[in-house]
Amino acid sequence: MRIASKHPLLFGTALALVSAAALYGCKDFLAENATPQGTLDQGTLSTKTGAEGTLIAAYRQLDCNRTNGAWGCAASNWVWGSATSDDAYKGSEATDQPAIDEVELYHWDSPGAQDYLDQKWAAMYEGVSRANAALRLAKAVASSGQLSASDANGITGEAIFLRAHYHFEAWRMWGNIPYYREDDTDFRKPNLQSAQVVTELLRDLDSAAKLLPATPRNGQKGRVTSWTAKAYKGRVQVYANQWAAALATLTPIVAAEGGPQSTTKTGWDLSQSYDQVWTGFKAQENGPETIFAYQASANDGEPEGYNANFGERLNFPHGGPWGCCGFHQPSQNLVNFFQVDAQGLPLALSAPSSWNVRDTNFTAADLTVTVDPRLDWTVGRDGVPFKDWGVHQPGWIRAREWGGPYSPKKNVHEKASGAESTVGWVPSQLNSVNIHLFRYADLLLMLAEAEVEAGSVNNAMALVNRVRERASRKAQGCGVPTDTAARRVLVTRYPQCAPGGTADTRIAVPINDPSITWARYAVGQYTSFPSQTYAREAVLAERRLELGMEGQRFFDLRRRGIAATVLNAYFNTGVGGGAEKNRRAQFKGAEPFIAKHNLYPIPTNQIQLSKIGGQNRLTQNPGWPQ
């Protein structure tokens, strides 16, 4: 201390220098602490694993997931394509997800509807963004020699296809949308005109078709092929009313149907029977019917069931074995639509002024009416066996006055399929039933539409009859459940389901099987399409019967330009003898469907976010507020 006291300045300076040096000496002190923790960096992903994984993430976005919210982004489009149409109600009860009521009643500029629109918009562009990221990585990794040419082409083709799919989804919602490619850096691009978007879509689908192999890479069934891209191209052309082009695209695809899949064979066909289309049985999933589907998985190690049918999880009967939530209930109008005449043809065509008179619950007791068997694969109704879960009962309905007496059925797994999740919030509503994004019957009926527009109504009729013939093969059977209590209820009601003590566990049976006592089924074949107008109606009716509750109906009505007529009649003025506003009181509040409803409003939030220099770069669709 003597030095210190004698030479205080020297000592102090030395001390200051030493401490400064100690701190500054570790020059990297700040840099060392700057690395993000617990994340991956660009370099790690610039590999084959990174490029492939980024592509996988682009596929995953096909359905809602834990980071992009709830039901507005469901792969099935049940909010946008079904609840808004004459197929279905939001269902459930008034106070649950009231935003979907706003969507259903065409209050699309309400805050609730805007939230949902924003969800869908964001989910679709996240898909685009993931696909574009995969494209950028594939390019970088391929140029560094870490990818084989076929993998590079495969990744690129799949990513371009997915990008087209997400844009298509956005386009059929909003029409005038911006189109983003992998080298875009300005994310406030103005929107394109609807027709320009179609050009972009077709361009991408053509590129994808050229790059993709004819069979899925690595034999993984979820991947798209050159056939998928071609089929999707036909779909886009149909949506754009490019009938001649669609005919040219789809005809060779159908000509190449059947398998095994190769450069000359699509591998696609109608599945054996209708019950095999929406199913949890693994053996039936990804059958010949599947063109493109969201591959749901359950019990895959993910602890919350997020990869299961996440977007559909509300759409189960509220009671019975599920416990929640009773959304997406079939409308009375849809149920009535399944009635057939003496020829087994849709009553809606043969009795246009009276087919929709019935206002009351259509139960198993109504045996005087003959119906298309697809009714009982599409709609759960009282007294009818519900796959192999037992008899659909009144107590399964959440709020009958609000949502009517029917339950959705297609997305529900068969108990025996083992597709149910064991984890997650209400695991009984989580399953691995794939969500069809494009299936073969849809394609056939689109081709039928193109044939009608080309004037070849007989070709169209053949396609329709082919779909109907498949529908006539199987109807809902006893499906006696393994659950003792449910079995007792079913067997008490239908003793024939337990002949001689052996339970009839068949879920699907021939439509005239003697075990069926809850319905009379018939599916007739058309013998002629007397006019182009009739043919148009028949094809559209067939689409409704075949694709009911699959999120297609609203878009079908809109692209055919008949949404206003059909939907105003559905809610208000009445069609076929009934109007839905007289069945469900809340529909008195529906806004009339007018020209502006032919496109959803672009979320105003996104318009705001597109501003540059005080100017919106996104332009709102006609009739909607900025």
Near another protein in 102-121, by CB under 8 A: 102, 107, 109-112, 114-115, 118, 121
* Single-letter amino acid code for the residue at 162: L
Smaller CB separation from another protein, 67 or 484: 67
Under rule CB under 8 A, residue 502 binds another protein: no
With H, G, I as helix, E, B as strand and everything else as coil, classify residue 431: strand
CB of 20 to another protein, least distance (A): 5
Q: Using the rule CB under 8 A, is 210 a contact of another protein?
A: no
Long-range contact pairs involving 456-460 (C-beta distance under 8 Å, separation at least 24)? 457/529, 457/531, 457/532, 457/535, 458/529, 460/529, 460/535, 460/538, 460/539
Residue 293, CB-side half-sphere exposure with 13 Å CA sphere: 27
Q: What is the Cα–Cα distance from 263 to 547, expressed in whole angstroms?
A: 29
| C-alpha pair distances (Å), 503 with each of 91, 417, 477, 482, 490 | 34, 17, 11, 9, 10
Rounded Cα–Cα distance for residues 237 and 522 (Å): 34
Asked if 95 is part of the footprint of another protein (rule: CB under 8 A), the reply reads: yes
Span from 128-136, 453-461, 559-567, 569-577 in contact with another protein (CB under 8 A): 128-136
Contact 249, 230 (CB under 8 A): yes
> Closest CB to another protein among 35 and 502?
35
Token pair recorded at residue 437: 């994004």
SS3 236: helix
Binding mask 523-562 for another protein (x = CB under 8 A): ----------------------------------------
Q: Contacting another protein (CB under 8 A), which of 87, 93, 200, 312? A: 93
Q: Kindly tell me which residue out of 48, 56, 269, 564 binds another protein, with binding defined by CB under 8 A.
A: 56
Q: Which helix (H) or strand (E) covers residue 438, if one does?
A: strand 435-439
- Rounded to a whole number of angstroms, the minimum distance from the CB of residue 430 to another protein is 12
Based on CB atoms, which residue is closest to another protein, 68 or 472?
A: 68
Q: Could you tell me which of 566, 560, 620 has the C-alpha nearest to residue 593?
A: 566
Which letter does DSSP use for residue 359 in this model? -
Pick 301 or 514: Cβ nearer another protein: 301
How many chain residues interact with another protein (CB under 8 A)? 126
Residues 404-443 that bind another protein (CB under 8 A): 419, 422-423, 425-427, 432, 434
Q: How far is the CB of 193 from another protein (least distance, A)?
A: 17
CB of 101 to another protein, least distance (A): 7
Q: With CB under 8 A as the contact rule, which of the stretches 91-99, 243-251, 327-335, 404-412 interacts with another protein?
A: 91-99
Residue number with CB closer to another protein (31 or 149): 31
Q: Which of residues 578-607 bind another protein (CB under 8 A)?
A: 585-586, 588-589, 591, 604-606
Question: Quick check: 57 binds another protein (CB under 8 A)?
Answer: yes
**Residue in 98, 190, 574, 577 binding another protein, rule: CB under 8 A:** 98
Only one of the segments 35-43, 238-246, 350-358, 523-531 lies at the binding site for another protein (rule: CB under 8 A); that segment is 35-43
Cα 45 from Cα 60, distance rounded (Å): 18
Amino acid sitting at position 40: L
Q: Does residue 223 bind another protein (CB under 8 A)? A: yes
User: Is 45 a binder of another protein (CB under 8 A)?
Assistant: yes
The Cα-based distances of 531 to 229, 486, 576 in angstroms read 33, 49, 21
Instruction: Provide the minimum distance between the beta carbon of 19 and another protein in the complex, in angstroms, as a whole number.
Output: 4
169 binds another protein (CB under 8 A): no
The residues near 624 (Cβ < 8 Å, ≥ 6 apart) are 108, 109, 596, 601, 602
44/492 with CB nearer another protein? 44
Q: Name which of 475, 484, 333, 319 is nearest 393 in CA terms.
A: 319
Contacts of 366 (CB under 8 A, 6+ apart): none
How many residues does the structure list for the chain? 626
Nearer to another protein, 362 or 402 (CB): 402
Determine, following the binding rule CB under 8 A, whether residue 220 of this chain makes contact with another protein: yes
CB of 46 to another protein, least distance (A): 10
Kindly state whether residue 626 participates in binding another protein, applying the rule CB under 8 A. Answer: yes
Span from 184-192, 255-263, 268-276, 365-373 in contact with another protein (CB under 8 A): 184-192
Stretch that binds another protein, among 31-39, 355-363, 364-372, 543-551 (CB under 8 A): 31-39
Token pair listed for 533: 């107008």
Q: How far is the CB of 306 from another protein (least distance, A)?
A: 3
CB of 177 to another protein, least distance (A): 9
CB atoms within 10 A of CB 301: 7
Q: Determine the Cα–Cα distance for residues 88 and 551; give it in Å rounded to an integer.
A: 10
Burial of 319 (0-12, 13-18, 19+ CB in 10 A): middle
Q: Does 469 bind another protein (CB under 8 A)?
A: no
Tell the smallest beta-carbon distance from residue 232 to another protein (Å): 18
- Judged by CB under 8 A, the stretch of 48-56, 235-243, 450-458, 471-479 that binds another protein is 48-56
Torsion angle (degrees, nearest 10) of CA 391, 393, 396, 401? 150
Instruction: Confirm or reject binding of residue 129 to another protein (CB under 8 A).
Output: yes
Closest CA to 518 of 496, 499, 503: 496
Map 525-558 to HEC letters.
Answer: CCCCCCCHHHHHHHHHHHHHHHHCCCCCHHHHHH
Contact between 283 and another protein by CB under 8 A: the answer reads no
Cα separations in angstroms, 426 against 93, 378, 551: 18, 23, 24
Residue 121 or 518 having the CB closest to another protein: 121
Of 40, 195, 248, 255, which lies in the binding site for another protein, with binding defined by CB under 8 A?
40
Q: Which residues are CB-neighbours of 616 under 8 A, at least 6 positions away?
A: 607, 608, 610, 626
Task: Out of 188, 255, 530, 594, point to the residue binding another protein (CB under 8 A).
Answer: 188
Using rule CB under 8 A, residue 225 touches another protein:
no
Consecutive H or E run containing 121: helix 111-143
365 binds another protein (CB under 8 A): no
Cross-strand bridge partners of residue 438: 292
- 222 sits near another protein (criterion: CB under 8 A): yes
* DSSP 8-state symbol, 515: T
Q: Would you say 25 or 145 has its CB closer to another protein?
A: 25
**Which residue lies nearer to another protein by CB, 130 or 230?**
130
Residue of 48, 139, 265, 400 interacting with another protein (CB under 8 A): 400
Of 301-360, which residues contact another protein (CB under 8 A)?
Answer: 301-304, 306-307, 323-325
Q: Is 38 in the site for another protein (CB under 8 A)?
A: yes
Question: Is the separation of the CB atoms in 87 and 334 below 8 Å?
Answer: yes
Contact 574, 581 (CB under 8 A): no
Stretch binding another protein (CB under 8 A), from 218-226, 260-268, 455-463, 533-541: 218-226
* Measured distance CA(368)–CA(373) in Å, rounded: 15
